[in-house]
Amino acid sequence: MTVGRFAPSPSGRMHLGNVFTALLAWLSVRSQDGKMLLRIEDLDPDRSKRAYITALREDLCWLGLDWDEEMPLQSTRGAVYTKAFSQLDTYPCYCKRSELHDASAPHASDGTFIYAGTCRNLTDAERADKQRKPAWRVRVPEETVSFCDGVFGTQEEKLAEECGDFIVRRSDGVYAYQLAVVCDDALGGVTEVVRGSDLLGSTARQIWLYRTLGFPVPQFYHVPLLVAPDGKRLSKREKSLDMAHLREKYTPETLLGRLAHIAGLTETDAPIAARELINQFSWEKIDREMRVIPTDF
């Protein structure tokens, strides 16, 4: 059976881009009679707010995007991440952000630095000398990860060269998104991951973690980003496109009608309920082109 998920972060009110992704994730699962999970990513305690968690559930209900099960909050799953972490070949990294910057390594596809390996082979004495709490990096092999994304097609990353050893636990003790997302989706039995194409660059790393931890790898679908009429990425700062404002301006049907049309699922942007879109959905209709939203959205 297909198992999909919504994995929103409660760091703000849901935004038009999140609604677009949630709609496609939901349609994919419902069109295959699968199971939908809600998995709230409140990993970062500084950025997650309880009020946003409540609002997320309400906004999804308002849209008519239901789920069959809610997974435990990430903030309660430290033991799961600790276990996975202990199975990885990790080492402490004492580099400061500015030092990473100075090493002027090229950027990985998601904008993070390709780690130069500065702390990879420190001796115990050198580690004892450092006066700061380390982050933890996982040692990646000289390996090429390839996968076929359901929207973006064949993708390939040379892990060591194009990504480098990456952080799986931050210096404040919080486990990194890369590790948590893999553990959570694997333990939830997720078979397909639908999310924004801003995360395409993280996927090779995550697939490598799935394999290293002995988990089956799900199918990935990265959905095109929505962009403003001037071509710029929609930002969470544009309050007029968050759900508080969208719910004042639209009904669920008028909002989904416009989004379904932008996605390429329907001929017109006539109002339509989520469940009426199920039999119009097909991944073949979703290409990788960014979607420019109309000026009057």
Query: Considering the complex, what minimum distance in angstroms separates the CB of residue 229 from ligand GLU?
Result: 23
Query: Considering the complex, what minimum distance in angstroms separates the CB of residue 7 from ligand GLU?
Result: 4
Write out the E strands in the chain.
Answer: 3-6, 35-38, 69-70, 90-93, 135-138, 144-149, 153-158, 166-169, 192-196, 219-223, 226-227, 291-292
CA distance 150 to 154: 9
Whether residue 116 contacts residue 78, with contact meaning beta carbons closer than 8 Å, is answered with: no
What does the angle CA 5 – CA 228 – CA 200 come to, to the nearest 5 degrees? 40
Stretch that binds ligand GLU, among 6-14, 51-59, 125-133, 142-150 (CB under 6 A): 6-14
Stretch that binds ligand GLU, among 105-113, 117-125, 160-168, 195-203 (CB under 6 A): 195-203
CA distance 22 to 19: 5
CA distance 206 to 288: 21
- Give the number of residues in contact with ligand GLU, rule: CB under 6 A: 8
Query: Considering the complex, what minimum distance in angstroms separates the CB of residue 92 from ligand GLU?
Result: 26
42 near ligand GLU (CB under 6 A):
no
Written as one letter, the residue type at 12 is G
The residue among 37 and 181 lying less far from ligand GLU, judged by its C-beta, is 181
CA distance 198 to 225: 7
Task: Give the one residue of 3, 4, 9, 52 binding ligand GLU; rule: CB under 6 A.
Answer: 9
Query: Considering the complex, what minimum distance in angstroms separates the CB of residue 9 from ligand GLU?
Result: 4
59-118: contacts with ligand GLU (CB under 6 A):
none
272 near ligand GLU (CB under 6 A):
no
User: Nearest to residue 166, comparing CAs of 127, 103, 250, 108?
Assistant: 108
Query: Considering the complex, what minimum distance in angstroms separates the CB of residue 184 from ligand GLU?
Result: 9
Stretch that binds ligand GLU, among 77-85, 194-202, 236-244, 275-283 (CB under 6 A): 194-202
Query: What is the DSSP code string of 175-191?
Result: BPHHHHHHHHHHHTT--
Residue nearest to ligand GLU (CB): 195
- The neighbour count for residue 214, using CB atoms within 10 Å, is 9
Task: Give the one residue of 195, 205, 222, 258 binding ligand GLU; rule: CB under 6 A.
Answer: 195
The residue among 196 and 264 lying less far from ligand GLU, judged by its C-beta, is 196
Only one residue has tokens 């996975």, namely 84
Task: Give the one residue of 3, 7, 55, 108 binding ligand GLU; rule: CB under 6 A.
Answer: 7
41 near ligand GLU (CB under 6 A):
yes
Q: Which residues of 35-46 are buried (b: 16+ CB within 10 A; e: fewer)?
A: bbbbbbbbbbee
Residues that bind ligand GLU (CB under 6 A): 7-9, 41, 181, 195-196, 199
